[in-house]
């Protein structure tokens, strides 16, 4: 009997052709359209790759009736926006899914910090800034917070609107420069081991974790390039260029966090910072890692995280006991071949891309395997969009000795020129972010 997997569809969340190919041998896809965007030709493509159930504009009760009348054996979301709907549907249909409170904790940064603290997992100081707080009340609320700090939307991904704040005035400026319709989290800044030192390598890791019947298993630890200001990711490295003890400590922290949040099923992307007094949890994401992390694992280790995430939520015998564990770190930092995905980010002052001449030159650099341009000449740029607004992305291999030079070589070869913003760039979506309905 063929199984049916319902995927809560969100534009650009997953390569639909790749997903159909990976899942074809063991299930049929059921695309659940729940966003508020027009899909255009993509909607017809989805119809060719599986069944389509359109619940846009319907109440949850009506949507549930549609879904319960269909043949569905599992439900999955690939983005923060779709996880809550997947949890509600899965819970009411008796499918393998996480509870709604658990999903709220992995998608709302304030609720997550509170839950972690309640279960004894250390967190930096944090404070919720409610939506719509007026200037006088906001100044009073944040006056006594220990600075410096990080300000970020309580619900959001990819470092969107995330910035460093030195004091209350900076908090007010950032909050009132935003749309004003969202809650923010003010969080203490974690000092890294090499704070103030210039390095192309980041002081944080991501732990790729999978959970089956409430038991978390770490299948890989991902290294990072250093952040582009203010907190935009510049890419990933396998194996991570850290010692095995740090990787193992980060993995143990991820397992503890998954248990504390009550995760029962699925994939987690857990971020950990390497601090002077040991690894510290940054946050838990209730989904596969973004930024093409699954692709990097597939290239480096021939493993398929996307297929595993799908199979975990379908009726099946235990999977993780026999799943392949990737090396947490290299036993030989000098002899290892490192696989990387590097995202070239525009400087924070850039408001428009004026030139990008060197894509072909980048392809000629030693070890480069793939180059994809994400922004065209003339496109508007705004650092508030976060990590996903990178200009181009490069995948390749290199040695440990050459790893630190990768960002400079690519940036130089790209020959990018930018228009400088004269005023703070307007936020995309300032008239309201995209929403999944019904929630």
Q: What is the mean pLDDT of residues 49-62?
A: 92
In the block, tokens 């799908």 appear at 310
User: What pLDDT score was predicted for residue 435?
Assistant: 41
- CA-to-CA distance for 210 and 288, rounded, in angstroms? 9
Q: pLDDT tens, 410-436?
A: 999 999 999 997 544 433 333 333 344
Instruction: Please tell me the predicted confidence (pLDDT) of residue 69.
Output: 87
What distance in Å separates the CA atoms of residue 145 and residue 125, rounded to the nearest whole number?
8
Percent of the chain's residues with pLDDT above 90 = 81
Of 53-62, 307-316, 366-375, which range is least confident? 53-62
Rounded to an integer, the average pLDDT of 350-376 is 97
Nearest to 80 by CA among 1, 6, 165, 10: 10
Tens of pLDDT along 66-91? 898 899 999 999 999 899 999 999 99
Q: Determine the average pLDDT of the residues in 21-40.
A: 89
pTM: 0.93
The residue ranking higher by pLDDT, 297 or 61, is: 297
Domains belonging to the chain, first-starting first, are: 3-97 (3.40.50.20), 125-188 (3.30.1490.20), 193-331 (3.30.470.20), 334-421 (3.90.1170)
- Contact (CB, 8 A) for 32 and 9: yes
Mean pLDDT of 219-234: 97
| Mean per-residue pLDDT of the chain | 92
Query: In the structure, what pLDDT confidence band is assigned to residue 179 with cuts at 50, 70 and 90?
Result: low
pLDDT tens digits, one per residue of 106-118: 999 999 999 999 9
């Amino acid at each position: 009997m063929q199984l049916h997997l319902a995927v809560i569809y969100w534009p650009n969340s997953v390569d639909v052709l790749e997903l159909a190919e990976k899942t074809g041998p063991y299930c049929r896809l059921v695309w659940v359209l729940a966003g508020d965007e027009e899909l255009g030709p993509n909607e017809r493509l989805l119809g060719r790759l599986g069944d389509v159930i359109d619940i846009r504009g319907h109440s949850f009760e009506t949507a549930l009736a549609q879904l319960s009348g269909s043949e569905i054996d599992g439900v999955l979301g690939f983005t923060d926006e779709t996880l809550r709907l997947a949890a509600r549907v899965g819970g009411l249909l008796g499918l393998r899914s996480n509870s709604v409170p658990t999903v709220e904790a992995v998608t709302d940064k304030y609720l997550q910090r509170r839950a972690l603290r309640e279960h004894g997992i250390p967190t930096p100081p944090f404070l919720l800034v409610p939506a719509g707080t007026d200037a006088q009340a906001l100044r009073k609320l944040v006056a006594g917070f220990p600075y410096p700090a990080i300000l970020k939307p309580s619900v959001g991904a990819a470092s969107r609107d995330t910035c460093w704040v030195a004091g209350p005035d900076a908090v007010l400026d950032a909050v009132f420069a935003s749309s004003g319709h969202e809650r923010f989290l003010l969080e203490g800044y974690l000092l890294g081991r090499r704070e103030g030192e210039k390095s192309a390598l980041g002081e944080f890791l991501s732990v790729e974790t999978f959970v089956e019947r409430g038991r978390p298993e770490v299948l890989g630890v991902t290294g990072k390039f250093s952040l582009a200001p203010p907190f935009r990711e510049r890419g990933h490295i396998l194996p991570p260029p850290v010692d095995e003890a740090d990787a193992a400590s980060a993995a143990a922290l991820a397992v503890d966090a998954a248990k504390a949040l009550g995760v029962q099923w699925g994939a987690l992307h857990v971020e950990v910072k390497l601090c002077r007094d040991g690894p510290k949890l940054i946050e838990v994401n209730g989904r596969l890692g973004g930024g093409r992390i699954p692709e990097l694992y597939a290239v480096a280790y021939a493993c398929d995280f996307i297929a595993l995430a799908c199979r975990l939520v379908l009726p099946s015998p235990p999977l993780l006991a026999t799943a392949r564990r990737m090396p947490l770190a290299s036993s030989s930092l000098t002899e290892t071949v490192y696989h990387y995905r590097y995202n070239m980010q525009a400087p924070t002052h850039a408001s428009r891309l004026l030139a990008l001449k060197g894509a072909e030159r980048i392809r000629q650099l030693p070890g480069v395997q793939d180059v994809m341009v994400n922004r065209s000449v003339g496109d508007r740029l705004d650092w508030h969009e976060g990590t996903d607004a990178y200009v181009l992305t490069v995948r390749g291999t290199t040695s440990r000795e050459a790893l630190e030079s990768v960002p400079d070589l690519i940036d130089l070869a790209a020959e990018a020129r930018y228009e400088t913003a004269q005023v703070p760039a307007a936020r995309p979506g300032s008239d309201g972010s995209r929403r999944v309905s019904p929630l």
